[in-house]
Amino acid sequence: MIGVSDSAAAGVPEPGSGSARRRSKAVGSASAEWSFPADPGAVRTARTVVRRVLDDWGLNGAADMAVLLVSELVTNSLRHASGPIGVRMVLLSSDGLLVEVSDPLPDPPRERDAAPDDEGGRGLQLVACSSRRWGTRRGKSGKTVWFELSVAG
């Protein structure tokens, strides 16, 4: 099920501009964000930078799942949108990691039932099953798909 939420309501700052930015690692204020061009290399680059930041934050246990889900969502953005793709991570004070992937297409993604032989159509199911919460929200231009992972040790 897709939920709708506003990260500002959860006490999470909205993304700023710029191609890459990191803030301090203090719990509740650690964040990193990037903007990628809509080209196939964005998926690999997003995986690399997400893994690097999570390693810097000492969150290696969440890295594999975060990288997998970011890869799925960036790939979806590449397939359906034609503009910059934003990725943002925020370390939450509730032992969670918020990850957001934004693109300029305003239409929310739709979960679908993939047939056994389908090569696609499972990304949102993977996000839904692997995260503790997830959803979408519209922005001023486009949409954001977000998920939270537990990072409790």
pLDDT values of the chain reduced to their tens digit, one per residue, 153 residues: 323 333 433 444 344 333 444 444 444 469 999 999 999 899 999 999 999 999 999 999 999 999 999 999 999 999 988 889 999 999 998 799 999 999 999 988 877 776 777 666 678 888 999 999 999 999 888 999 999 999 975
Strand ranges, E, within 20-116: 20-22, 31-36, 85-92, 96-103
Burial status of residue 100 (CB atoms within 10 A of its CB: 0-12, 13-18, 19 or more): buried
Q: Please indicate, yes or no, if residue 126 is contained in any of the structural domains.
A: yes
11 occurs within a structural domain: no
Residue in this structure with the two tokens 């990304």, named with its chain if needed = 123
CATH number at residue 93: 3.30.565.10
Domain of residue 49: give its range.
Answer: 31-150
Q: Say how many domains are in the chain.
A: 1
Whether 26 is covered by a domain: the verdict is no
Whether 123 maps to a domain, the answer reads yes
20-22 and 96-103 beta bridge pairing: unpaired
- Is 102 domain-assigned? yes
End-to-end CA distance of the chain: 27
pTM for this one? 0.80
What does the alpha-carbon distance between residue 104 and residue 4 come to, in Å, rounded to a whole number? 17
- Does 13 reside within a domain? no
Q: Is residue 97 part of a domain?
A: yes
C-alpha angle 47/51/52, rounded to 5°? 115
Reference 2, options 150, 151, 105, 144; nearest CA is: 144
